[in-house]
């Protein structure tokens, strides 16, 4: 009898607890979205109006021309060219036609970051940076 002495208080506790019926639910009153520490939301993609292949001249748009290597391809996560890959962090649309972001750039075995501004003007894309000051104007290839 002493072995089961713990069972009686447990049954009494369960009997006195106000539990919801079968057709009732228990409301959750915690945060609306569960997050894991360090699990930040992904950066918004580069707008589709910037996507495509862009060349510094019409000759860059010709895939058969292997001498012209100033074209870039812009996608939702960054841009690439023949020897460079740039993915962005901290993007901001400063106007409907202007994206400013810190890009992580990998080229020729090196990696660095820099703030790059992409500005759309019709079928022209301007890529600019401040350190060192440089601007490249592209025409749409697609």
Averaged pLDDT in 10-residue chunks for the chain of 142 residues = 60 60 60 56 79 91 81 91 86 90 91 92 90 86 82
Domains of the chain: 48-140 (2.40.128)
Total Cβ atoms within 10 A of residue 28: 7
Residue owning tokens 């009732």: 24
Cβ pair 78, 89 in contact under 8 A: no
* Separation CA 121–CA 139 (nearest Å): 10
Cβ pair 72, 88 in contact under 8 A: no
* Separation CA 95–CA 99 (nearest Å): 7
| DSSP letter, residue 33 | S
pTM strictly above 0.75? no
What was the pLDDT predicted at 8? 65
What was the pLDDT predicted at 63? 79
Q: Where are the alpha helices (DSSP H) in 5-57?
A: 7-16
Angle at 88 between CA 82 and CA 90, to 5 degrees: 165
What was the pLDDT predicted at 97? 93
What was the pLDDT predicted at 80? 92
Cα distances from 12 to residues 1, 9, 17, 22, in angstroms, run 17, 5, 9, 21
* Separation CA 102–CA 88 (nearest Å): 6
What was the pLDDT predicted at 30? 54
76: closest CA among 67, 86, 66?
86
What was the pLDDT predicted at 85? 93
């Amino acid at each position: 009898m002493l072995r089961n002495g713990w069972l009686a208080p447990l049954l009494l506790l369960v009997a006195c607890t106000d539990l919801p019926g079968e057709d009732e639910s228990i409301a959750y009153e915690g945060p609306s979205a569960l997050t894991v520490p360090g699990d930040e939301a992904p950066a918004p993609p580069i707008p589709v109006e910037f996507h495509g292949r862009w060349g510094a001249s019409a000759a860059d748009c010709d895939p058969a021309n292997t001498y012209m290597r100033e074209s870039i391809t812009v996608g939702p996560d960054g841009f690439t060219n023949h020897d460079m890959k740039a993915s962005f962090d901290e993007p901001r649309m400063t106007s409907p036609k202007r994206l400013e972001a810190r890009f992580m750039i990998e080229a020729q075995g090196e990696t660095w970051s820099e703030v790059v501004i992409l500005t759309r003007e019709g079928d022209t894309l301007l890529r600019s940076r401040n350190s060192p000051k440089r601007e490249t104007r592209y025409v749409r290839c697609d």
